[in-house]
Structure formats: C-alpha cells, structure tokens
C-alpha cells in the first residue's frame, strides 16, 4: 500500500458507494453509472484499490442457511490492561472463526466480541472452551441477540463540497 493518498472527488465517492452495494458490478455498468469511459472507470477503481480505500471483495453469506444464525455479543474484562496483556488477548482472539468481530472499547469492559454459532448450547461450549481460555479474561457479560433489526457493513459516504465555478 502506498503512503500517498489523493483527495477523493465526487466520482471517486460515487464509485465507492456503488461498489460497496454491488461488488460484482461489471466495469461497463460502473462506468455508465458514473459517466466515464470503461478505461477511466477501471483506472479509478485501480487507484482506489492501490491507495487502500477498498480493502477487498467478499460474498455476504446467509448465516441462517449455514446454521450459524445465533449471535451473541460478549463484553470482556481483562484482569489487567497493560500493553502486553492487551496484545496477548488481541493476538489470541484472531485465531477463532466463531468470533467474527472483536473491538477494544472504553468504559467498564475492555473488549466486545461478536460470536456466530448454531444455538445457545454451542455458545456455552464456545464460552467455556474459547472465551474463558483467552489470555487474561477476568469477567464476561453475554448478550444473546433476540432479533436483528439492522446489520450492515456499508459506510455512509459524504460527497465533497462542489467546487466554486
């Protein structure tokens, strides 16, 4: 990844917005949507990739069809919050695919994780065999999800101000 980053213009923002909604859009359709030639659109996408605005492309899978629709958020408090303790926890947590998100937070707990699994029985196993085995875990609080109201990974993009003419 390069350290030089260009300022995004309205076309770049529009390209990013289209791609985050449909990563499989053809270059021709993308070019039409942003009023560029296919060559110019491809060059813009390549620049956005190179500069790190686009992290990658992936398919969104249906967790219910794959028997992992049960979601639990877990707050985790460590016994100490030294840099070594935080690093040890962070290094360990990334090895478990059941933990689909992990965020260091401020407040009464140190981390919050999102776990996807089959059901409460499987979560109990994950809690005992994974969560409580992570380095430095002192306390956890679990919040099983009853219903998903909104779930998205899309970022609300802001258009740059129009240049004065």
**pLDDT given at position 94:** 97
Exposure string of 4-40, with b = 16+ CB inside 10 Å and e = fewer, is eeeebeeebbbbbbbbeeeeeeeeeebbeebebeeee
**pLDDT given at position 4:** 58
* Number of helices followed by number of strands (H, E) in the chain: 5, 4
Per-residue pLDDT at 5 exceeds 80? no
Q: 161 in a domain, yes or no?
A: no
The rounded distance, in Å, linking the Cα atoms of 32 and 81 is 52
* Cβ–Cβ under 8 Å, residues 70 and 25: no
* Cβ–Cβ under 8 Å, residues 5 and 48: no
Looking at residues 72-99, what average pLDDT do you find?
97
* Cβ–Cβ under 8 Å, residues 81 and 138: no
User: Using one digit for the tens of pLDDT, what is the confidence trace for 41-65?
Assistant: 999 999 999 999 999 999 999 999 9
At residue 134 the predicted structure's pLDDT band, cuts being 50, 70 and 90, is very high
Per-residue pLDDT at 113 exceeds 50? yes
Residues 118 and 136 in one domain: yes
Residues 54 and 78 in one domain: no
Minimum mean pLDDT range among 2-6, 105-109, 120-124, 152-156: 2-6
Residues 49 and 85 in one domain: no
Q: 149 in a domain, yes or no?
A: no
Q: 16 in a domain, yes or no?
A: yes
The rounded distance, in Å, linking the Cα atoms of 60 and 63 is 9
The rounded distance, in Å, linking the Cα atoms of 141 and 40 is 51
Look at the chain and report how many structural domains it folds into: 2
**What stretches of 33-162 adopt beta strand conformation (E)?**
70-78, 99-104, 111-117, 137-144
Residues 54 and 94 in one domain: no
**pLDDT given at position 159:** 83
Minimum mean pLDDT range among 92-96, 98-102, 112-116, 160-164: 160-164
Using left for φ > 0, alpha for ψ between -120 and 50, and beta otherwise, residue 77 falls in beta
**pLDDT given at position 160:** 79
Minimum mean pLDDT range among 11-15, 34-38, 58-62, 159-163: 159-163
* Cβ–Cβ under 8 Å, residues 86 and 110: yes
Residues 52 and 74 in one domain: no
Per-residue pLDDT at 165 exceeds 60? no
Of 14, 30, 60, the last residue of a domain is 60
Give start and end residues of each alpha helix (H) in 59-155.
83-93, 120-129
């Amino acid at each position: 990844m390069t350290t030089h980053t260009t300022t995004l213009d309205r076309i770049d923002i529009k390209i990013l917005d289209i791609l985050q909604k449909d990563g499989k859009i053809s270059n021709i359709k993308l070019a039409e949507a942003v009023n560029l030639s296919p060559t110019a659109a491809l060059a813009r996408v390549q620049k956005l990739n190179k500069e790190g605005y686009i992290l990658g492309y992936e398919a969104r899978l249906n967790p219910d069809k794959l028997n992992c629709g049960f979601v639990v958020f877990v707050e985790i408090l460590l016994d100490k919050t030294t840099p070594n303790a935080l690093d040890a926890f962070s290094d360990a947590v990334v090895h478990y695919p059941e933990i689909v998100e992990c965020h260091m937070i401020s407040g009464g707990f140190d981390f919050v994780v999102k776990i996807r699994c089959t059901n409460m029985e499987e979560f109990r196993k994950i809690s005992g065999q994974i969560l409580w085995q992570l380095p430095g875990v002192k306390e956890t609080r679990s919040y099983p999800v009853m219903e998903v109201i909104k779930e998205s990974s899309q970022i609300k993009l802001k258009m740059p101000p129009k240049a004065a003419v």
